[in-house]
A and B are shown apart, each in its own frame.
Chain A
Amino acid sequence: MSAESSKKELAVAALRNGTVIDHIPADVLFDVVRLLGIEDMATSVTIGNNLQSAILGRKGIIKVADVVFPEATLNRIALIAPSAKVNIIRDYEVVEKHHVTLPDELFGLVKCNNPKCISNNEPMRSHFTVVNRQPVTIRCHYCGHTQSH
């Protein structure tokens, strides 16, 4: 490998400032990308998938430069990727490291699986309350149906 290509690889891999979301199960990586709205961002984004992981087998990783997501936004991914870890990077150093945690209430994130629920028939946001965390069970605020994830 030439010195130049090694430099390029480093430029992609290392993040000066921003957020790294690691330990995302490979099969939901792009769901997480969509959920965080990364497709519409103008900053540098690195997405890796099917990387070796001792815990998950195959994992995904997302690095977003110069963006620190609000905690509430990051916690939205807990429903589909509860194993995800968030690292906040400042000046190449990890200054904060934490797991995502499922909030008590979820707004507009999940569709109710009851076809007769008002939330599936009106232009409105869904609203769920978390009734159990392991396994994740949520109850629709409107029709009262529960569903597991």
Chain B
Amino acid sequence: MATNSLVSIDDISKEEILRILSAAQYFEQNPDHKILDGRVVATLFFEPSTRTRLSFETAVNRLGGRVIGFSDPAVTSTSKGETLKDTIIMVSNYVDLIIMRHYLEGAARYATEVTDVPVINAGDGANQHPSQTLLDLYSIYKTQGTLDNLTITMVGDLKYGRTVHSLLMAMRYFNPTFRFVACNELQMPQEYIRFCDDNGIAYTVHSDFSEAVIDTSDIIYMTRVQRERFTDIMEYERVKDLYNLRNSMLANSRPNLRILHPLPRVNEIDRDVDDNPKAYYFQQAKNGLYARQALICRALGIEVPIVNK
């Protein structure tokens, strides 16, 4: 396995997270630094994901690298029954880095075991999506000026949302206070509650998305409540609008509050929030470009200049 692969956010230390954020900051100021010098990167999308693929491919292009790959496995040998191992070994002959998304959980971890080329996991089923976590961290860092001692409120689907689980785990180094706002059916799983207990992370659990919670938050991380997650449709109908954010709810919120969302949103954030300067979800997606530029350089072992603050 190449040591610079990134499969899970758990694979990297606090120091590495901070280094990546510093590199992201550099690329925000110098987005077109041609630091890759014509290196070739494969984007292997065994499952379509336009947003993530475009973000990664833009990152490579802006860094001066070249991209090969596929966005539809139906046109590849996978559809002929080729194993993942064979596809990865074959592609490894051509490229310096593999960025892959797969519908099966653990696919990226396995890929790192069959090749010496570094692998970045761009999502493996419901399992891990570390570049999303790093762009979330970068967005928090950028808007708050620090990652330390923040109150982060997570709202909506805390049971199945992998982004909130990864963010929670990555924040363990920074003394956060979490608020988990969800209906009983979609509350934070015990596994992560235990993780908070084991790591001395403060948290409170709420079923009510109240102003008391909003007004004491530095970050509100919204997620989508999906109908298919419910076994009881009546329960879905009862709770579906309880966790929607409207602009009027932000009247007394902290000046530094920012609203994040991994997107796509449906109606959990009302359109009237979009014009509020505290709405940050679109810039958050843009930050993904810089975070991914930083991750690509880390994977290739390329030093990024330090930004003077």
Give chain A's interface residues, CB within 8 Å of chain B.
114, 116-119, 121-124, 140-145
Contacts and interface: CB of A to CB of B under 8 A. Distances in A.
B106 interface: yes
B126 interface: yes
B106 A143 contact: yes
Contacts of B103: 116
Contacts of A122: 83-85, 110
Q: Name the 5 nearest CB pairs between A and B, nearest first.
A: A142-B106, A143-B105, A143-B106, A118-B106, A118-B104
B218 to A, nearest CB: 29
11 contacts: A114-B105, A116-B103, A118-B102, A118-B107, A118-B124, A141-B106, A142-B106, A142-B107, A143-B105, A144-B106, A144-B127
> How many interface residues does chain B have, given as a range?
10 to 19
Contact of A118 (B8, B110, B126, B128): B110
Interface string B97-133: 0000011111101100000000000001111100000
Given A116-B104, A121-B104, A142 B110 contact: yes
Contacts of A143: 105-106, 125, 127
Contacts of A114: 105
Contact of B126 (A116, A119, A140, A141): A116
B105 A142 contact: yes
Given A142-B105, A143-B125, 17 more contacts: A114-B105, A116-B105, A116-B126, A117-B105, A118-B102, A118-B109, A118-B110, A119-B106, A119-B110, A122-B85, A141-B109, A142-B107, A142-B109, A143-B105, A143-B127, A144-B106, A144-B127
B19 to A, nearest CB: 25
A146 B124 CA distance: 17
A41 B104 CA distance: 38
Interface in B56-81: none
A109 B110 CA distance: 17
Nearest to B83: A122
Nearest to A121: B104
A116 B103 CA distance: 8
Which of A116, A117, A118, A143 has its CB near the most chain B CB atoms (within 10 A)?
A118
Contacts of A119: 106, 110
Contacts of B124: 118
A123 B83 contact: yes
Contacts of A142: 105-107, 109-110
Interface string B1-35: 00000001000000000000000000000000000
Contacts of B125: 116, 143
Contacts of B102: 118
Contacts of B105: 114, 116-118, 142-145
Contacts of B85: 122-124
A114 B8 CA distance: 18
A147 to B, nearest CB: 13
Contacts of B84: 118, 122
Which of A114, A124, A143 has its CB near the most chain B CB atoms (within 10 A)?
A143
B245 to A, nearest CB: 31
B23 to A, nearest CB: 27
A124 B127 contact: no
A117 B84 CA distance: 13
Contacts of A117: 104-106
A69 to B, nearest CB: 28
A18 B128 CA distance: 48
Nearest to A120: B104
A143 B84 CA distance: 15
Which of B85, B104, B107, B125 has its CB near the most chain A CB atoms (within 10 A)?
B104
B93 to A, nearest CB: 20
Interface in B122-171: 124-128
Nearest to A141: B109
